[in-house]
Amino acid sequence: MLVVDDNALLRKVLSDIIAASEEFRVVATAGNGLEALEQVRACQPDLVTMDISMPVLDGLRAIARIMGESPRPIVVVSARGGRDTAEAIRALELGAVELVEKPGAGGDPAELAPRLLAALRAAAAADPSKVAADLTAAPRADRAGLGSGAARFAVAVAASAGGPRALAEMLPALPGGLDAAALVVQHMPRGFTRSLADRLDGLCALRVVEAEPGVPVRCDTIYVAPGDLHMRVRGAAGSATIELGRDPPLWGVRPSADHLFQSVADVFGAAAVGVVLTGMGRDGAAGLGAIRRAGGATLAQDRATSVVYGMPHAALQAGAAQDVVPLSRMAERSAAEIRRRAGVRV
């Protein structure tokens, strides 16, 4: 694999972590995006770790060039804060499949090892042909007609590796006027989910916010779970509120889709649609089963459009997903299920 960072010390830290794992092998390193392109062409690495802020050619432009010329799984290793955070989200839309936060000032580089290796494993399972093309979103629709009352229906969405790109395709296609809210768990480090919500808010017809504790669940609004906090809903359909918690990770992740989905099943029951998108592991499968048993509709992304088919496949194997849907039709199908539950002919 290729390690790209303009900081020589961090390049060594990353390379040492990778070498010590005995799962991956570093074949080359690069100090900027231009060097990265040269090493990709020369060494043909199976995986790339990519910094964002670099001289000569930054990470965003390097990722766009790599994915345009010779697509391969890329893991972004980025600092949190300022411009880097927003650009890391954009890098995931351009084709990078995972995001790892750099150690902060005074942080212990050893804490990076498990997060980096988990991201590399997910990236190794990714199909780069699913992320080769750039994503061009339609202009955001006028929000003048959006409602603000309490949501009587809910669309709960789970995503992990490849998820930001999938969300940027699905969520802008969700229509307003359904008396529904969407609740999203995307596995992502703390501090990056607000930038994800801001980016999606600029793309979607619905309002998109990072969830806050105690707020009412409103229709025509998409709530993104904050990184490192589990998100649940409490109350009843039509009067539900958001609850955030720091109880232990589930399946090694926090937020966990299983916790969200179980609460959506409890609160919204048959007035819910559960959706599992691309991602590594099995988070969401058990919770999707709870939504199905409560009478809600349950959908899993198909293999052909999934960057990593782990989570959708787990949901299907568990008997939790009623139907398998391509990403391009997921919003349309979710809206149709809400309308059916509202008694509207579809």
Distance CA 95, CA 133 (A): 8
Residue 134: strand pairing partners: none
Instruction: With a cut of 70, say whether residue 137 has pLDDT above it.
Output: no
Instruction: With a cut of 60, say whether residue 138 has pLDDT above it.
Output: no
Instruction: With a cut of 70, say whether residue 133 has pLDDT above it.
Output: no
Query: Which of 53-57, 134-138, 270-274 is least confident?
Result: 134-138
pTM > 0.75? yes
Confidence of residue 319 (pLDDT cuts 50, 70, 90): very high
Distance CA 82, CA 194 (A): 12
Please give the mean pLDDT across all residues of the chain.
93
- Give the chain's domains with CATH numbers: 2-131 (3.40.50.2300), 153-341 (3.40.50.180)
Residue (of 77, 217, 51) closest to 150 by Cα position: 217
Residue (of 89, 340, 72, 57) closest to 210 by Cα position: 89
Any catalytic annotation for residue 160? yes
pLDDT of residue 186: 98
Look up tokens 């992740």; give the residue. Answer: 253
Any catalytic annotation for residue 187? yes
pLDDT of residue 308: 96
Q: Burial level of 292, CB count in 10 A (0-12/13-18/19+)?
A: buried
Torsion of CA 64, 210, 152, 271, to 10 degrees: 50
Confidence of residue 107 (pLDDT cuts 50, 70, 90): low
Any catalytic annotation for residue 16? no
Q: Which of 5, 187, 258, 263 is catalytic?
A: 187
DSSP string, 215-232: -B-BTTEEEEPPTTSEEE
Residue (of 46, 112, 109, 110) closest to 74 by Cα position: 46
Q: Which of 78, 160, 256, 306 is catalytic?
A: 160
Determine phi and psi for 259, rounding to 5 degrees.
-65, -45
Q: Which of 283, 302, 306, 334 is catalytic?
A: 283
pLDDT of residue 136: 56
Task: Summarize pLDDT for 211-225 with one digit per residue, the tens.
Answer: 999 999 999 999 999
